[in-house]
Amino acid sequence: MAARPRVVAALAAHLRDLDVAEEAFAGAAASCLALAEPPRDVPAWLFVAGKRRALDALRKARAEARTAERHAEVAEMADILTLPEPIPDERLRLLFICCHPAIAPEARTALALKVICGLPVSAIARLFVVSEATMFQRITRAKLKVREAGIAFELPPRRDWPARLEAVLLALELAFTAAYADAGGELSADLGEDLGGEVERLALLVAELLPEEPEALGLAALVLLARSRAGARVDGQGAMVPLSQQDCALWDGVRIERARALMAQAARAGRSGPCQVMAAIQLTHARRAFDGVVDWSAVLRLYDVLQVLRPSPMVALSRALALAQVEGAEAGLAALAALPAERLALARPFHVARADLLARTGQAAEARAALDAALVLDPPRAERLWLEARRAGLV
Amino acid sequence: MQFMLMINEDESAYAGEGGAALLEATLAGHMKLAEDLVAAGVPFSGERLKPAATATTLRFDHGAESLHDGPFAETHEELGGFYIIDVASLDEALAWARRIPVPKGGIEVRPVWPMGAEG
């Protein structure tokens, strides 16, 4: 359902309960699919149907408690009868509610991904590298906190935004990571919506609302740059095309230009941060469209900075690949060998990077084994086709 | 909704040199806070508790009962007092909690279970 984020957010803001909103949406979506003819305005239909389901359930519970409020019912019915009604856009409000500082830090982002982007718990668990059971518990606990702790269903006053911004940006960044890893659009197809487009819209909205926050601008630029390559990421056979081999004539120059402007605006604040550095790395790659080459030593320096700002095995992995471009594949392999292999055993990019560098140093058999290790980890279709083609090309 | 603001503080801050002055300043802060709550029209109540050394704790274990000298939990910070305020949201409760004078310690903010509500 392409309308999900918008409808769920509107339902949550109206019903003031995340679980009730999600259930109401699921019920409404199921009835919508069962209709002989699709409604003219699907989001409006879903919003009204979802609201009605939730209110029916609420009324039933109230009737059982013998405290039915007749006047309220009449007012609510009148509300429902005025169809179609405009759906208020509550996505940003919901994003800020999910990122309330009273919610455990490790749960805020996950909650936002679940409720707003509708990512399945399994996908969120993968993003945080925890088990599905752990993630399910984390999200359940966070929802309980929102419901029971008295967290207001209001957009917080402006002075409270910066305290929540970090979690908001992280939620968007992770949602974007999930969308971007999905070159062939499988996750989006499962969700029935364009997750990348939704993240882009939200990131631009946050940047527009907080133009004095350079990291918000940096994230919007990062998302724009990645989205600028959407048309070049998959070939005619549906196989993924890695960044270095993409035809830059297929890149979207308007998005690149917009990202560049956002980054220039961010730079004026004079406060660097991980989103800005990641955007700078992507912009360096985008410059290939103008310069014909990638300035790998610049990329390497940026990864050095990123490793200080936000150290992680995945950043170290990307840095090793940049190092291989500057100092040679042997140096890259040495850097990879220094990474915690057991922590990265389930990370496909680790095996893909090793395969690349092993192939470049003439170790074809080891490269094939590394590609096999990546293929075992259940890549999306587009990536699998690309990996299989690479494997077949190794002799 | 109602929130209980539980003041857990290090009692030892009020002992020793400068302790009396600190206590006086803290109590003045509480007086000011009460005035501000009244001025803002926030319904509230609250009490200051005697030191943790005066506490007696009853413990139960499936029918067996025992009596202990001292507070429920032995920590550096003790429950020294509380407010119950009636405000619209957690954020408002937190805003009031921030204005409670606490030289060293923390304030736990918890919604009060509404009487008559199920679940």
Q: Kindly determine whether residue B90 and residue A151, on different chains, have CB atoms separated by under 8 Å.
A: yes
Query: What is the percentage of chain A residues whose pLDDT exceeds 90?
Result: 46
Domain that holds residue A52: 4-82
Higher per-residue confidence, A304 vs A39:
A304
CA distance B52 to B69: 10
Decide which of A51, A82, A113 is a domain's last residue.
Answer: A82
pLDDT of res. A345: 87
Average pLDDT over residues B89-117: 92
Examine residue A224 and state whether it is found in any structural domain, yes or no.
Answer: no
A370 has a pLDDT exceeding 90: yes
Q: Which of A82, A101, A116 is the last residue of a domain?
A: A82
**Residues 6 or more apart whose Cβ sits within 8 Å of residue A31:** A49
Does A148 sit within 8 Å of B90, measured CB to CB? no
Q: How far is A154 from chain B (nearest CA, A)?
A: 10
Residue A257, SS3? helix
Structure-token pair, residue A246: 């993409």
Could you tell me which residue, B116 or B2, shows the higher pLDDT?
B2
State what percent of residues in chain A have pLDDT above 70. Answer: 90
Q: Which has more confidence, A281 or B52?
A: A281
Q: Residues A316-334: pLDDT tens digits?
A: 999 999 999 999 999 999 9
Residue A155: closest CA among chain B residues belongs to which residue? B91
Is residue A82 very low, low, confident or very high in pLDDT (cuts 50, 70, 90)? very low
Contact A162, B101 (CB under 8 A): no
Q: At what angle do helices A161-180 and A105-115 cross, to 10 degrees?
A: 60
Q: How far apart are CA A154 and CA A90, in angstroms?
A: 10
Q: Which residues of B touch A161 (CB under 8 A)?
A: none
Q: Is B112 on the interface with A (CB under 8 A)?
A: no
Q: Read off the amino acid at residue A206.
A: V
Residue of A nearest to B2 (CA): A150
pLDDT of A209 above 60: yes
Contacts of B88 in chain A (CB under 8 A): 152
Q: Is residue A54 part of a domain?
A: yes
Task: Find all residues with CB under 8 Å of B98, minimum gap 6, and list them.
Answer: none
- Chain A interface includes B94 (CB < 8 A): yes
- In a domain, residue A280? The reply is no
The continuous run of DSSP H or E covering A137 comes out as helix A132-148
Q: How many CA atoms lie within 13 A of A325 on its CB side?
A: 16
Could you give the ipTM of this predicted complex? Answer: 0.73
Q: Cβ contacts (< 8 Å) between A154 and chain B: which residues?
A: 89
Residue A74: pLDDT band with limits 50, 70, 90: very low
Structural domain count of chain A: 2
Domain boundary among A40, A61, A82: A82
Which residue from A118, A106, A94, A232 is spatially nearest to A178, judged by alpha carbons? A118
Q: Which site among A16, A99, A151, A153 would you substitute to test the B interface, given the most B Cβ atoms closer than 10 Å to its Cβ?
A: A151
Taking CA atoms, what residue in A is nearest to B110? Answer: A149
Question: Which helix H or strand E contains A324, and what residues bound it?
Answer: helix A313-327
Identify the band that residue A2 occupies on the pLDDT scale cut at 50, 70 and 90: low
Domain-located, residue A27: yes
Task: Quote the pLDDT of residue A335.
Answer: 96
> Which H helix or E strand runs over A323?
helix A313-327
CATH code for position A389: 1.25.40
The chain-wide mean pLDDT, for chain A, equals: 86
Gap from B66 CA to chain A (nearest CA, Å): 33
% of chain B surpassing 90 pLDDT: 71
**SS3 state at A314:** helix
Tell me the whole-structure pTM to 2 decimals: 0.71
A20-34, A122-136, A180-194, A340-354: segment of lowest average pLDDT: A180-194
Closest residue on chain A to B113 (Cα)? A148
**Alpha-helix runs per DSSP H in A181-293:** 186-191, 195-209, 214-227, 253-267, 274-286, 288-291
Residue (of A197, A191, A202) closest to A1 by Cα position: A191
Tell me the per-residue pLDDT of A258-302, one tens digit each, with 9 for 90 and over. 999 999 999 999 999 999 999 999 999 999 999 999 999 999 999
Q: Is the dihedral of CA A12, A16, A22, A27 positive or negative?
A: negative
